[in-house]
Structure 1
Amino acid sequence: MEAASATGVLSHLSLLEVQARSHKTQPQQQSRVKELKAKVEALRIQREQLKAEIETHKNLQKLRASMDKQCTHEEEEEEMDEDSQLLRLMARHTQLKDLLHAHHVIGGYNVMKTRQGKGICVSLATAYEGVFLETYNLEIDLKPTMRISRHNIPPYIPLNSLAEQSNLQTDLRTFLDTLSQHLNAFAGRKQQLKLVKELHKSVDVMESNVLCSILVLMFTVPRDKTAVLCTLDYTDHTRCLPTRVHFESEEKALPDSPEWKNPCRLLMETPVHKALIAMRKMGNIV
């Protein structure tokens, strides 16, 4: 009797244990089902987005093909709904990106045909610190041989020697790149000189030349009001920074003193108008 009772108790306990495990497993299964449903829904949304992108791409391809064959009439644009106008704008955007890429491939120069294709006109824009400055043009004859026929390049830029060094007949791109370097460096040096005169009234510009390859400035040392003559020599005409900086003063030891080593380095590595600001903050000049 006691054995039977014990067996019944054990069976009941076993049943309760099975039920408990079942209750624990059920929330986990429900959680897993919810997770899988959410993943399926996310994949379904991603599929729909990909379908929409593919359809849009197909429409853009069709519009690009039609835009390459014929111009768009304003009357047709007025009849288009908003979606069609948006697609056309997107197609125009991709077309302009392609043109910009092609423009970059040819060196970023604006080139126009002249005299029914017998020549080309190349425009070279100059800029410094994000500010566009002068634009120069040169017309090149293509036949019977390539030669520069007209231009407005400043006479102090060695145009002919640059054309000979770069072999204009076989490597026009190298010639234009080298010429652009010279023009932009000249424009940068000229702009720096202008900024020195505008921003630094206490600094006297004693000398400069038309190429802005020599610049002589006079500083005043605030401690004892000593005058310092500074010569900036730009022997590399493709750069905006000097290749040599030389100080002169009545106080002979001053230019070679340790306190003027840092200003010398600044002027060699920094545009002159910015170097002067730093020198004033350090107390080297008035």
Structure 2
Amino acid sequence: MEEGKAYSPCGELSVWGAGCLPVLRPFEKLSQVVSLRICAEPPLFWVPQRRPLIITAWVFERVVLFLAGVFAHLEMLEARACEAATKKEETERQEEKLARLKARVEELRLQRDELQAKVDLQQKRQLGKEGVASAPAQPSAQAVLEWKIRSVEAMLQVFYLTGISGKLTKLGVCFCISTAYEGTYLDSYYLDLLTKPEVQIHRHSVPVFIPLGQIAKKYLQTDIRRFLSVLSDHLNAYAGRRYQADQLQEHFSDQIEGTLQRNSLCNLLVFNYNVLSKRKTFLFNVRLLYGDLCCSLPTEVVISCTPDAPASLAETAAAHSDLFRRVALHKAFRSFSSAEENMDGAP
């Protein structure tokens, strides 16, 4: 190469004039200074070396593509972080709302008990006055019946605050027990009671597997408030268990292997689901037993895995078992899915 000349990356010969040359010190020869170009663009910078350095457009394109991939990955991580933060905020809001509703329910129950105590006290005083005015003998059957009717009327308004409402009928009173689970209203059941000559069940829409007869035998004649409260607990627990199973089948059917088996009372659930471990899928078999029929969470959880599963899955099974006992079934599976997504997104 002649002094004062250099070849550009595109192969063209560039000749520098005296006015466009950079300061040559400490270089003694013009051939020691090479201009780096991309095609026919002006020189980008000067690199001192003995031989011309050629950077092709192909190399530059690869660098740009690499940087674009890095930026795209960073954007994906940022989107995942935003989505996780949004889900966390929504969960916290729901938990706060649920806590407020639970506190409100407890407050209303206390008010109900106070009102009922006042009603009972007034009725006893009224009966005492009537007994003194008429005779010291026992109250008549008609007086007792009227007292029961007044008691029922007073309870209708009180029970309305806890999901139990009712209205008087020609033969007695008809109650409506509404069920809900975690703020979601579910089914309503009706109970028609006769008050003459004694309180008894005339007709109802309570499922046959709910122990209505046992509850009525224990509480109906002695404490109707307790009777309705216990019956409501049974119905709400049943509705909650059924709701969890339905949510599991609806939203996590891709993780369930086969059919979810359950009995009519939904106090026994058996199903299989897939678990990802070290990029391999293993099958967990689950048996949930709800020993307390007034509770929507299982009292016994048994999880088993296939014989070829690694020993590390035993810890996973124990963690899943503990979660099934503490949170709703569909929420537990939502936690499993979030954990697997975090593992997949980890470098």
TM-score range for the pair, normalised by the shorter chain length: 0.5 to 0.7
Residue 240 of structure 1 corresponds to which residue in structure 2?
296
The aligned residue for residue 204 of structure 2 is 151
**What is the CA-CA distance between 1:150 and the residue it aligns to?**
0.4
Structure 1 regions of 5+ residues with no counterpart?
A: 1-99
Cα 1:255–1:176 change in 2 (3 A) is farther
Are the counterparts in 1 of residues 248 and 330 from structure 2 also a CA contact under 8 Å? yes
Figure out how many residues of one structure are paired with residues of the other and give that number. Answer: 185
Match of 1:199 in 2: 251
Alignment partner of 1:127 out of 180, 186, 203? 180
What letter corresponds to residue 166 of structure 2 in structure 1?
Answer: V
User: CA RMSD, aligned part only?
Assistant: 2.8
Cα distance between partner residues in 1 of 2:239 and 2:321: 23
Q: Deviation digits for residues 110-165 of structure 1, max 9, x if unmatched?
A: 121111xx311011011112121111111111111111010010001010001112
Q: 2 CA distance for matches of 1:216 and 1:102? A: 40
What is the rounded CA distance, in whole Å, between the counterparts of 1:253 and 1:171 in structure 2?
A: 56
Task: Name the SS for the 2:209 alignment partner.
Answer: coil
The AA in structure 1 aligned to 2:272 is M
C-alpha contact 2:156 2:166 (8 A) present in aligned 1: no
2:166 aligned partner: 111
Contact 1:248 1:255 in 2 (8 A): no
Runs of 4+ in 1 over 3 A off after TM superposition: 104-108, 252-256, 283-286
Question: Which residue among 215, 225, 235 is the counterpart of 2:269?
Answer: 215
How big is the shift at 1:105?
Answer: 6.3
For residue 198 of structure 1, give the secondary structure of its aligned residue in structure 2.
Answer: helix
Higher relative contact order (CA 8 A, sep 6+): 1
**Structure 2: segments with no counterpart, 5+ residues:** 1-153
Moved more, 201-210 or 268-277: 201-210
Question: Where does residue 61 of structure 2 map in the other structure?
Answer: none
Q: Measure the CA separation in 2 of the matches of 1:247 and 1:182.
A: 27
Q: 2:229 aligns with which of 177, 184, 200?
A: 177
Distance 1:242 1:255, change over 3 A: farther
Q: 1:216 to 1:111 in 2, by over 3 A?
A: same
Q: Relative to 1, partners in 2 of residues 1:158 and 1:207: Cα closer, same or farther, differing over 3 Å?
A: same
Change beyond 3 A, Cα 1:235–1:254: farther
Structure 2: distance between partners of 1:199 and 1:148: 39
Aligned residue number for residue 49 of structure 2: none
User: Does the residue aligned with 1:264 lie in a helix, a strand or coil?
Assistant: helix
Q: Measured at CA, do residues 102 and 228 of structure 1 come closer, stay the same or move farther in structure 2, by a change above 3 Å?
A: closer
Q: Which amino acid aligns with 2:199?
A: M
Deviations 1:64-123 (A, max 9, x none): xxxxxxxxxxxxxxxxxxxxxxxxxxxxxxxxxxxx9982367642121111xx311011
Asked whether the equivalents of residues 126 and 183 of structure 1 are also in contact (C-alpha less than 8 Å), the reply is: yes
Rounded to whole Å, the distance in 2 between the matches of 1:257 and 1:154 is: 39
The structure richer in helix per residue is 1
Equivalent of 2:282 in 226, 233, 248: 226
